Structure 1
Amino acid sequence: MTRPFGPQPAPDSGPRLGPAPAPGPMDTALTRLAGCRYPVVQTGMGWVAGPRLVAAACEAGALGILASATLGREETAAAIRAVKRRTDAPFGVNLRADAADARERAEMLVAEGVRVASFALAPQQDLIDLLKDGGVAVVPTVGAPRHAEKVASWGADAVMVQGSEGGGHTGPVSTTVLLPRVLDAVDIPVVAAGGFRDGRGLAAALAFGASGIGMGTRFLLTSDSTVPDAVKRAYLEAEDTVVTRAVDGLPHRVLSTPAIEALERAGGLRRLLLALRNARAFRTEAGAGWAPLLREGWAMRRSTGAGLGRTLMAANTPMMLKAAMVEGRTDAGVMSAGQTVGAITDLPSCRDLVHRTVREARETVAGLPG
């Protein structure tokens, strides 16, 4: 099926003399914690959530999260300052809790006055304490109630719950099942992620009791995203996603591509050789020597229980993502995607997307019976 390509107006839009005024703020525990206008989070996607997208999301009233896992420490500092040059709005930075220099990066966030630190893997309590003492809110992503309880007991300010519908690394439980269980388990703000793309989803999440929603694929597919046009076109033409373990040994929701199909067919030795090649490339990309890379690999092995082979395979993810998201190689890269990708048909600006989402949420609530 061929879909329209390029920035598209909202489906219900007609001729306008100028942009529609921004909707009024929505007050939730998330907006109060993060200082954003609306309870919408642009998630920290590697090679995608750079300064331009983050600043555009923040200027629109959402909470933008800068991805730093694929950046060296100095590159991360430069990216933070680039966001601050583009916007005065508060924003967040996604950190790897298992990185060898996680503490130094956390200290950088404190020094730079970053509002939120998000994590894919749960940070240890000393890292949470360092950030909180420096005025940075800590928001780990969790995939089970027990994980939410653990980080809440360590002092996390909020959690993001990602269900199986989400793109990238994912778990087996859907958002609609996982979200209420986590809400029942903790008394800190909960942000829902996995399967969200519009105001109806925001209204549903708020009705569950969440403090907001996180969207990744939907922000990737905006005119403010720096992802190459060929990749955006592949996303807009996609109908479905697949979950594969062939990339790095963990369940990963992606678009089906020749690269994914080849990895699925490949034997263990071929995958390991690819991992070693990508580990060397990632070492060069991040400006780190082999020693820090190996330390990070062992840290991941300790924190996740991964075997050595899977630890080495972890380098596949950032480099294969780069092949698609930076180099535009749709045939050779990994394109993480949430299940909602099949319902996305346009490329609005972040401003139009966020404002449309808020208006739709209010209209949805207003239209409920009674």
Structure 2
Amino acid sequence: METRITQLLKIKYPIIQGGMAWVAEHNLAAAVSNAGGFGVLGAASAPADVIRQEIYKVRELTDKPFGVNIMLMSPFAKEVAQVVTEEKVSAVTTGAGNPEKFLEMWKNAGIKVIPVVASVAMAKRMERHGADAIIAEGTEAGGHIGQQTTMTLVPQVADAVEIPVIAAGGIADGRGFMAAMMLGAQAVQMGTGFVVANESIVHDNYKDKIMKARDIDSEVTGLSTGHPVRSIRNQMTREYLKLEKQGASLEELEYLTLGSLRKAVMDGDMKEGSIMAGQIAGLISKRQSCKEIIEQIMKEAEQLRSK
């Protein structure tokens, strides 16, 4: 299926892998790119030299295009921005901040810039400053989220900008893919669906938790801090919500979650770990390779399109 995004990124299928912290490392990114999608390294809060090594490792595993997601709140964001420029990755996706100060540098290096946005206003601003495409992410997504749903955000962003739009949040099968296309998207970004992929380094406990999740099993914490996060409900989320209700300070809340994502991803701690996942987790019930995930979605989408 050829779209403006497949042309822009020179990929076979209009499916982008989310740049998830601790999850989106070189094995997953390379596997997605080799399967015809667009793999993305999640820089998160990692130092620049770590990201450079991850870029090298992806290139050892694939000759296909891939990108890097930069969390702009990271203390190493400036250094990572420079590394991706020097390494001339195909594209940069950004989150948790405004990438304007890096746009000229990336564009001059021939890098496609694709910010993640949660509002029409930010989408229009990113277009004015030279973004090549926009990822419109709805609140159904896992991890850090905005307030608008994918169903309402994507068509409004698509109407507001001329650059292509990628839909994210609550997409894990051909039905979600085709719905996004009907809303005006030129591709989809998926995170939770790839967490359980065979190539994902995520602990088996985490994968099992996603595959056993029901539609009502996710929880949003951090609303009081202005940085809401969607995760699967567990002991940590219950304690966090209790502290929020009691008016706990930002420091208390941050202390509770310190290292919690690593605990879940690497150690398989399902009690005190942060099991970030989207509402679509209830639809995910089996492990597959990245190739199988992508090809199944495209097969389902083609069947729907031909009806």
Tell me the TM-score normalised to structure 1 length.
0.78
Aligned partners of 1:122 and 1:151 also within 8 Å: no
Whole-angstrom CA distance in 1 between matches of 2:297 and 2:236? 34
Secondary structure at the aligned position of 2:50 is classed as helix
- Aligned twin of 1:148: 123
Aligned partners of 1:120 and 1:140 also within 8 Å: yes
Give percent identity, aligned residues only: 34
Whole-angstrom CA distance in 2 between matches of 1:219 and 1:126? 31
Secondary structure at the aligned position of 2:281 is classed as helix
Letter in 2 for 1:156: A
Letter in 1 for 2:149: S
Matched, 1:275 2:275: no
Tell me the TM-score normalised to structure 2 length.
0.93
Whole-angstrom CA distance in 1 between matches of 2:69 and 2:30? 15
Residue among 77, 82, 92 paired with 2:57: 82
Once structures 1 and 2 are overlaid, which stretch shifts more, 335-344 or 260-269?
Answer: 260-269
Change in CA separation of 1:205 and 1:269 when aligned onto 2, cut-off 3 Å? closer
Listed one character per residue, the Cα deviations across residues 341-360 of structure 1 (whole Å, up to 9, x for unaligned) are 01111111000001111111
- Aligned twin of 1:250: 227
Listed one character per residue, the Cα deviations across residues 174-199 of structure 1 (whole Å, up to 9, x for unaligned) are 11111110011100010000010011
Whole-angstrom CA distance in 2 between matches of 1:124 and 1:67? 16
Secondary structure at the aligned position of 1:348 is classed as coil
Structure 1, unmatched stretches of 5+, are 1-25, 279-315
- Count of matched residue pairs: 303
Whole-angstrom CA distance in 2 between matches of 1:332 and 1:352? 32
- Aligned twin of 2:101: 126
Change in CA separation of 1:236 and 1:64 when aligned onto 2, cut-off 3 Å? same
- Aligned twin of 2:282: 342
Give the deviation of 1:110 after TM superposition.
2.1
Letter in 1 for 2:124: E
Whole-angstrom CA distance in 1 between matches of 2:143 and 2:225? 11
Residue among 8, 16, 20 paired with 1:45: 20
Whole-angstrom CA distance in 2 between matches of 1:51 and 1:193? 21
Structure 2, unmatched stretches of 5+, are none
Once structures 1 and 2 are overlaid, which stretch shifts more, 26-35 or 343-352?
Answer: 26-35
Decide which structure has the larger Cα Rg and report it: 1
Whole-angstrom CA distance in 2 between matches of 1:50 and 1:143? 24
Give the deviation of 1:121 after TM superposition.
3.1
Give the deviation of 1:332 after TM superposition.
0.8
Matched, 1:237 2:212: yes
Once structures 1 and 2 are overlaid, which stretch shifts more, 244-253 or 346-355?
Answer: 244-253
- Aligned twin of 1:351: 291
State the superposition RMSD in angstroms.
1.8
Matched, 1:113 2:113: no
Aligned partners of 1:47 and 1:70 also within 8 Å: no
Change in CA separation of 1:222 and 1:248 when aligned onto 2, cut-off 3 Å? farther
